[in-house]
Amino acid sequence: MSLTTSPLDELIRRIRDKAAWDAPAARGAHDELGDGGPMRLAASGPVEGQVRRPLARMHVRDFYLIDDNEAFVRFAYRSLLRRAADMDGFEATCQRLAQGGSRAGVVCSLRLSGEGKVAAVQVDGLQLAWIAWTVERLLRAVGLKSTARRLSVDIDQWITGYSAQHAEESLARTGADLAVLRFIESWRAPLESHAGRTAVLEREVKILRDTVHELSTSVQQLRGELHYARHVTANASASANAAHSSGNMPTDGRTSEVNSTTVSNVPTSHTATSHKPINNADLDAYYVAFEDANRGTHQAFIDKLSVYKGVFETLQQPGRGALLDIGCGRGELLDHLKGMGITARGVDLNAVMVALCRERGHDVAQGDALAILKSLPDDSLAAVSGFHIIEHLPFEICFELVRECRRVLQPEGFILFETPNPENVLVGSHTFYHDFTHRNPVTPTALQFLAQYHGFAELQIIRSSPYPDSAKVPGDDPLTRRVNGHFCGPQDFALLARKPAAAKHSRQA
């Protein structure tokens, strides 16, 4: 990152890069990889230069096992100075060799330089090479350049022939190394080609995975609509039979009971228009489809309950009363508790939801949860739960609900209310409003204080369902962590609170 680039600019760049990759694309579309052309791998340099690795201890003859002078110079710099050759030094050394200088002279000059002494690589045979190199320089100094050139050739030949058996073995090993590296290098082009195609295929797989998810959601919605259609058909048949028996046939297909909540929230000027009122059956059908499309599968809900491990297990103790699940919906929690051997019953306004729960053998009432709570005696329940309910309620109703929960709970009984978490910016500003019946987000502080006001104790906020790591901005610096916390943190939170042992009833309104 340059000095002129701020951390925020860098963060924005990473966000854009991430968004460009994760952005949905039509099937068959291609990104910057085009049609899957070659993905160039990092260059590795000539294979001949890779067969000799710098060692802590070397012999002068090791520098003669590389035929190419340029590869020899690079190897000498890496071996004796522990760095790559700089351009000036590389060109000057290659020129000296081209003018008849010996490799022994190059090795000696590098090893005996200031850098070479610091690197302190042990080179056996260096003394003899130094003597020969010194003689060579003296001959050049007195003008006997041709004699010095012949001497350098003799020096190189002498060193190359020194310990011929060892040299042959080293050359054999070098040849084997070269053969392996050249074989690997021959696969570079096919690997680059396949790497490019693989990247495009991965993108295609992501598109297919998204498509499967959409189809799965559509199947869930169709199942919900099928349940609704069966329920409405059965009710319509029963109503028609009853009307035929009494001689009072209905004038249209609407149910006689209108959703009172809906009507009470419609402006007066609109209630007198010619528009047909929305009846309960229509709204129930819509909400069944909405939950199937957005709440996830039955198993996904059960899996999410793992964040409350240990909470429901307390209800397995002998002598505990039942749990009442307010807004039990499709009955996932009731199924889960039934499997644990815990007595639980539910309440819901939606007739289709109630019918589905009853079909699975659950004790579920259709009606207003607050009215049902008020009908229960003191200290009669072990727990009251409500998943994504309180965000639908006016404050006055929520206030009474919490107060009634404390009254009907047994000592040490608990409430567990889960709701969308507005601490997550995307939840508070966007996803919360997918549901038309949501009123306003509820903060952890507000809900905690409401429970405390009504005398609940052991208050605990449980946050859950963060966005997956794949949605987060890459990086681990403080700014990135803070952004990910605000935008990709827990999407839900729950209040867990208990009625104190030997508690008195909360203050009355």
Domain ranges of the chain: 47-186, 283-498
Does residue 400 contact residue 372 with C-beta atoms inside 8 Å? Answer: no
Query: For residue 128, is pLDDT > 90?
Result: no
At 292 the pLDDT is 64
At 241 the pLDDT is 54
Could you tell me which residues are beta bridge partners of residue 29? none
Tens of pLDDT along 306-316?
899 999 999 99
At 353 the pLDDT is 86
Average of per-residue pLDDT across 245-259: 38
Q: Looking at the domain 283-498, which fold is it? A: Rossmann fold (3.40.50)
Tens of pLDDT along 472-500?
888 888 898 899 888 999 999 999 999 99
Phi/psi of residue 173, each to 5°? -65, -40
Single out the residue of 295, 294, 385 nearest to residue 337, CA to CA.
385
Tens of pLDDT along 134-189?
776 776 676 676 665 666 666 666 665 554 445 555 555 555 666 666 666 676 67
User: 165 is written with which tokens?
Assistant: 């058996």
Kindly report which listed range (22-31, 164-173, 303-312, 433-442) carries the lowest average pLDDT score: 22-31
Tens of pLDDT along 281-292?
677 667 667 776
Single out the residue of 193, 192, 207 nearest to residue 29, CA to CA.
207
Tens of pLDDT along 265-280?
333 333 333 444 545 6
Q: How confident is the model at residue 2 (pLDDT cuts 50, 70, 90)?
A: very low
- Rounded distance between C-alpha atoms, residue 120 and residue 143, angstroms: 34
Higher pLDDT, 100 or 398: 398
Does residue 489 contact residue 427 with C-beta atoms inside 8 Å? Answer: no
At 312 the pLDDT is 94
Higher pLDDT, 245 or 480: 480
Largest pairwise CA distance in the chain: 136
Higher pLDDT, 111 or 57: 111
At 268 the pLDDT is 33
- Rounded distance between C-alpha atoms, residue 414 and residue 460, angstroms: 11
Which positions ≥6 away from 22 have C-beta within 8 Å? 470, 471
- Rounded distance between C-alpha atoms, residue 333 and residue 302, angstroms: 7
- Rounded distance between C-alpha atoms, residue 321 and residue 343, angstroms: 7
Tens of pLDDT along 352-389?
889 889 998 999 999 999 999 999 999 999 999 999 99
Tens of pLDDT along 253-268?
333 332 333 333 333 3
Higher pLDDT, 243 or 193: 193
Query: For residue 424, is pLDDT > 80?
Result: yes
Cα→Cα distances 352→208, 227, 231, 279, 390, Å: 33, 8, 7, 14, 21
Does residue 302 contact residue 308 with C-beta atoms inside 8 Å? Answer: no
Higher pLDDT, 317 or 30: 317
Query: For residue 343, is pLDDT > 50?
Result: yes
CB atoms within 10 A of CB 337: 23
Does residue 292 contact residue 219 with C-beta atoms inside 8 Å? Answer: no
Q: H or E element: which one contains 202?
A: helix 188-246
- Rounded distance between C-alpha atoms, residue 471 and residue 424, angstroms: 14
Kindly report which listed range (210-219, 393-402, 465-474, 488-497) carries the lowest average pLDDT score: 210-219
Q: H or E element: which one contains 382?
A: strand 381-387
Tens of pLDDT along 172-181?
555 566 666 6
At 326 the pLDDT is 97
Query: For residue 249, is pLDDT > 50?
Result: no
CB atoms within 10 A of CB 109: 18
At 194 the pLDDT is 73
On whether the pTM is more than 0.75, the answer is no
Q: How confident is the model at residue 59 (pLDDT cuts 50, 70, 90)?
A: confident
pLDDT above 90: percentage of residues in the chain: 28
Higher pLDDT, 293 or 311: 311
- Quick check: helix, strand or coil at residue 346? strand
